[in-house]
Structure 1
Amino acid sequence: MAPSGRTGPPSDLVPTPHDAELRAAARHPARRRFLTVTAAAAALAFTTSLPARGAFATPRLAAARITRDPFTLGVASGDPLPGSVLIWTRLAPAPFEPDGGLGQQQVEVSWEVAADESFSLLVQRGTALAHPEYGHSVRVDVQGLTPGGHYYYRFRTGTWISPAGRTRTAPPAGADTASLRLAAVACQAYHDGYYTAHRHLAQEDVDVVFHLGDYLYEYAVDSAGGARGYTEVALPTVFDREATTLADYRMRYALYKSDPDLRAAHAAHPFVVTWDDHETENNYAGAIDENDSDPALFLPRRAAAYRAYWENQPLRADQLPKGPDARLFRRLHWGGLAQFDVLDTRQYRSDQAYGDAPHVPGPESDDPARTLTGDAQERWLLDGWGTSTALWNVMPQQVCFSQRRLDLNAEAKVSMDAWDGYRAGRGRLVAGAKAAGVANWLVLTGDVHVAYAFDIKDDFDDPGSAVLGTELTCTSVTSGGDGVEHPANWDTYLRANPHLRFYDGRRGYVRVELGRENARADYRIVPVVTTPGAPVSTAASFVTEVGSPGLTPA
């Protein structure tokens, strides 16, 4: 548990002033991408800043010269496959400096994977280079592992050894797997409170964690750490501005990963991550930012944000951005029990209708050409359902899928930023799920900073229509600050949305166990986040039966 008296950042991460601009990953014209925005073509060039090769290769730093712990940001693993898992770290002896304290030199890092916590039963080992062009991040796609196995991993450079992480591989493809325990988290604004939920999540017995977006926020963080109220050590002023550049985003990840509870959750479980808006900018839609700026001005920022995201998450090389583009949607399996179709609902979406504010649906929002996923991702999803042989088809994604009427008027307002603002696209997915015979459909959602449980209806405006699946919204880790069990609109939302089976405004996560007969969801909540050390409890539990969609209290 986080110490209740903590009043500042961890002592090993005391900030040191550094005013130099980040020299790594300097952008220069290397790739041209043409966009069509309001019928005008905009040409834009980006670099991928690949590590240098040959005679002009980046110089290498002797690891023995690193005099401070370079593993301040911890370790992580992700995207487990039957025979492999991705392990990650990032070297940063001075994490709050633009270059992490390592300048522009490469560093050689060794890694080990073992079958036991003491590392006496080594399974794999090797070396990798931490490139300055990638913020000295290190990722190893460890191959040749046993399906369904548990492993421990760590990194070493010079005399420094990283914390150990624990991870696992997925069961064999198509295996008759009995169960899977997962957790879903989202929305962890550093300035809104402590990551107590992550500390409890680190102690949960789960196989994998899905992070559904808003891993960080681009907003300024003052010297007191916002609601954390640091008094003994002040955060540097570099964080007290909105993140817009590659250096900004890299240091913002360093700030977030300086939290020991977040590091503990990553070390305890493999993560499957996807982004929402705040990893780049609030409510952006494709190439359009919140202020409807010229895409030629916004896309360099998106390129910087996407690069920093990849550098700081346990993602494979397939997800490496190319300028402002990155293929983040992907498919994972857990034996024959579950297929996970991880979505990206930001990069390809049409701009929000009627502005970003809630609005009554109308011709603009219901235009069939509007999309939240983009055509290619939509086809990929529908095709994947058509060929799925999994018992559970799980769709981890970002924004509320089910209809959410925000008032009791006959023509109620809905969120234009969620699937309610893209009803034609939602209708195509509902029709596709029915056509593919997806019997056990589970949607995992973040974004809204509250916990919801929805029955997904064939027709949300007809309470008597068939239930097609279940949506579980995981609330936030901290975003929104201390929550309450019944927000002011609690009664209105429950009355306006008969398919809404549960609504709670406190912070936490959802824990789900998928089985051969049913799925059980436990909403785990903490009462406060503005002071550390709060206990965790279960606010409610629900079950949905295999072959019989619909939630019942457990």
Structure 2
Amino acid sequence: MAPKGRRGPLFEHAFSPQDAVLRDASRRLGRRRFLTVSAAAAALAFGAGAPARGASAARERPAARITDNPFTLGVASGDPLPDSVVLWTRLAPQPFEPDGGLGQERVAVSWEVALDEFFLFTAQRGVAQAHPEYGHSVHVDVQGLDPGTEYHYRFRVGTWFSPAGRTRTAPAAGTAPKGLRLAAVSCQAYHDGYFTAHRHLAEDDVDVVVHVGDYLYEYAVDPAGGARGYTDVELPDVFNRETETLADYRLRYALYKADPDLQAVHAAHPFVLTWDDHETENNYAGAADEKGGPAEAFLIRRAAAYRAYWENQPLREAQRPDGPDARLYRRLHWGTLAQLDVLDTRQYRSDQAYGGGPHAPGPESDDAARTITGVAQERWLADGWKASTAVWNVMPQQVCFSQRRFGTAADANVSMDAWDGYRASRKRVTAAATAAGVENWLVLTGDVHVGYAFDIKENFDDPASRTVGTEITTTSVTSGRDGTERPSDWATYMAANPHLKWYDGRRGYVRVELGAKEARADFKVVPAVTKPGASITTAASFVTEAGAPGLNPA
């Protein structure tokens, strides 16, 4: 935990006046949630002094005064629409300094979108402001693009050019594209190894990358970089503590974003992202932290984590946090072929039952009032399915949706942190999919650091019950360090869960190709992540036919 004494100067330096901040934060949080929030903490977490839609009191730094490369954290794009895509970068000539080396001055950043990699045929260009209040991040929602088109983009500050990125727009609404190639990734603990899977994914031919959570980890990273074991470079001590403040989270994103493999995959493909727990704190649930501390104090931390997440990802203004709240769940389309309903199962969930550890289902976990999505998001999901005309309804989300029993006994434990701990929620969502006539339901999951392929059953306790969808769980990029093909519990899990069709413990990602007649999932794995440069192979492939839910070996 961070020393308490370090917080005061950071807050006082950044924001004032405190009384106005308190009133604003109280209005946003509500009186009961805000009673114990200090003025200093509120000032940082709730963004006093943040620019209002482009306006900033910060003076502008002339480009000539930026003498070091400001694009050390790379570029990214995300959330492609038929006529728009979000472009991102963050200026940090000194990425491991709290202010990135730019102090409290704003910087004008030129951006350019072209039809070719040489930037001879410009499609759009403009100027954006990198505000110190947002960590000198830049989010450009480029409008007026052509649907179904590949574009190249870059940024410029003075004489400095960013690396060039490649992105694409979604097909036009109402059109029927032949296919959608996506990759699902999750769980990339920097201290557990190299992002080798991302390097391979950067070279893969996919349309979009879906990141389903644990983009970073809040845990301390020692000077050696954990399992990376640097011999010639030591990381600064600022990383050797758990993230708690806005400055901590910003620095941790800088550490991750400085990785060349992560930069490569962002530059190669547009991303669609959602968070899980480690972007904030392990196993948090709504306003409840892992250790059962005061909700008011945790919401301060959550506000800092959410703000840093938005600052460091290619997300639109609609996803920008308002204090400790952010509307991350959203819907994207790929013509009439696919509808992507991106969920947030952390921010609105009830606290985990039975203390949050593995436990057999019981009255506490099965309480019908418990929810993993919150009422509003659950209704939004059901309404979206009712209106869907897509061939495939894809649900990117965080934790295992399908039942996952840890033993063969009738009262075997399950995870209280996954949908097994929220069975009433799962039952309602499954019923909503059925009621909406969703035939081709594909759930994309992360979290567990292994690869799974599940048939989603109408009744998981009856193997003969109807299969209503497919769940593909991607393994981690690094989390858990070097994996193994068959973990020690492999035989038990396969016997205890007849709907589990495949289980592998190696690192990598999942490549999914959707077509009009079938979906194919290829599990890509690397043998090791504690040493760089590992090769990649396809460990298994499955198909599910449109109109006939259920996985079959390819």
TM-score class, shorter: over 0.9
The SS at the match of 1:403 is: coil
CA offsets 1:359-387 (integer angstroms, 9 cap, x no match): 00000000000000000000000000011
In the alignment, does 2:411 pair up with 1:411?
Answer: yes
CA offsets 1:491-537 (integer angstroms, 9 cap, x no match): 00000000000000000000000000000000000000000000000
2: CA distance between counterparts of 1:472 and 1:324? 31
Structure with the larger helix share: 2
Residues 405 and 496 in structure 1, CA contact (< 8 A), matched pair in contact too:
yes
User: Partner amino acid for 1:429?
Assistant: V
CA offsets 1:320-342 (integer angstroms, 9 cap, x no match): 00000000000000000000000
User: Partner amino acid for 2:169?
Assistant: T
Deviation at 1:52, TM superposition (A): 6.9
The SS at the match of 1:60 is: coil
User: Partner amino acid for 1:418?
Assistant: A
2: CA distance between counterparts of 1:55 and 1:520? 47
Deviation at 1:54, TM superposition (A): 11
Listed as ranges, the matches of 1:54-73 within 5 Å are 57-73=57-73
Q: Against the structure 1 CA distance between its residues 412 and 70, is the aligned structure 2 distance closer, same or farther, given a 3 Å change threshold? A: same
Listed as ranges, the matches of 1:290-305 within 5 Å are 290-305=290-305
In the alignment, does 2:486 pair up with 1:486?
Answer: yes
1: CA distance between counterparts of 2:141 and 2:53? 22
Aligned pair count reads 534
User: Partner amino acid for 1:398?
Assistant: Q
Aligned to 1:476: 476
User: Partner amino acid for 1:324?
Assistant: P
Aligned to 1:93: 93
Match of 1:32 among 26, 30, 44: 26
CA offsets 1:97-141 (integer angstroms, 9 cap, x no match): 000000000000000000000000000000011000000000100
Listed as ranges, the matches of 1:340-355 within 5 Å are 340-355=340-355
User: Partner amino acid for 2:138?
Assistant: V
2: CA distance between counterparts of 1:54 and 1:441? 40
The SS at the match of 2:501 is: strand
CA offsets 1:163-204 (integer angstroms, 9 cap, x no match): 000000000012111100000000000000000000000000
Residues 51 and 58 in structure 1, CA contact (< 8 A), matched pair in contact too:
no
Aligned to 2:249: 249
CA offsets 1:436-479 (integer angstroms, 9 cap, x no match): 00000000000000000000000000000010000000000000
Residues 46 and 324 in structure 2, CA contact (< 8 A), matched pair in contact too:
no
Q: Against the structure 1 CA distance between its residues 36 and 352, is the aligned structure 2 distance closer, same or farther, given a 3 Å change threshold? A: farther
Deviation at 1:47, TM superposition (A): 2.6
Aligned to 1:263: 263
Residues 218 and 242 in structure 1, CA contact (< 8 A), matched pair in contact too:
yes
Listed as ranges, the matches of 1:352-501 within 5 Å are 352-501=352-501
1: CA distance between counterparts of 2:466 and 2:168? 38
User: Partner amino acid for 2:545?
Assistant: E
Q: Against the structure 1 CA distance between its residues 370 and 220, is the aligned structure 2 distance closer, same or farther, given a 3 Å change threshold? A: same
Aligned to 2:46: 47
Q: List, as ranges, runs of 4+ consecutive aligned residues in structure 1 with deviation greater than 3 Å.
A: 20-28, 33-37, 40-46, 52-56
Q: Against the structure 1 CA distance between its residues 113 and 41, is the aligned structure 2 distance closer, same or farther, given a 3 Å change threshold? A: closer
CA offsets 1:36-58 (integer angstroms, 9 cap, x no match): 99xx6654666334227999821
The SS at the match of 1:488 is: coil
Show structure 2 runs of 5+ residues with no match.
Answer: 1-8
Residues 48 and 321 in structure 1, CA contact (< 8 A), matched pair in contact too:
no
2: CA distance between counterparts of 1:543 and 1:341? 21
Residues 174 and 335 in structure 1, CA contact (< 8 A), matched pair in contact too:
yes
The SS at the match of 1:299 is: helix
Aligned to 2:227: 227
Show structure 1 runs of 5+ residues with no match.
Answer: 1-19
1: CA distance between counterparts of 2:137 and 2:472? 33
Aligned to 1:113: 113
2: CA distance between counterparts of 1:56 and 1:310? 18
2: CA distance between counterparts of 1:233 and 1:466? 55
Q: CA RMSD of the aligned region, Å?
A: 1.8
2: CA distance between counterparts of 1:42 and 1:489? 45
Aligned to 1:280: 280
CA offsets 1:48-106 (integer angstroms, 9 cap, x no match): 34227999821110011101100000000000000000000000000000000000000
Q: Against the structure 1 CA distance between its residues 492 and 306, is the aligned structure 2 distance closer, same or farther, given a 3 Å change threshold? A: same
User: Partner amino acid for 1:32?
Assistant: S
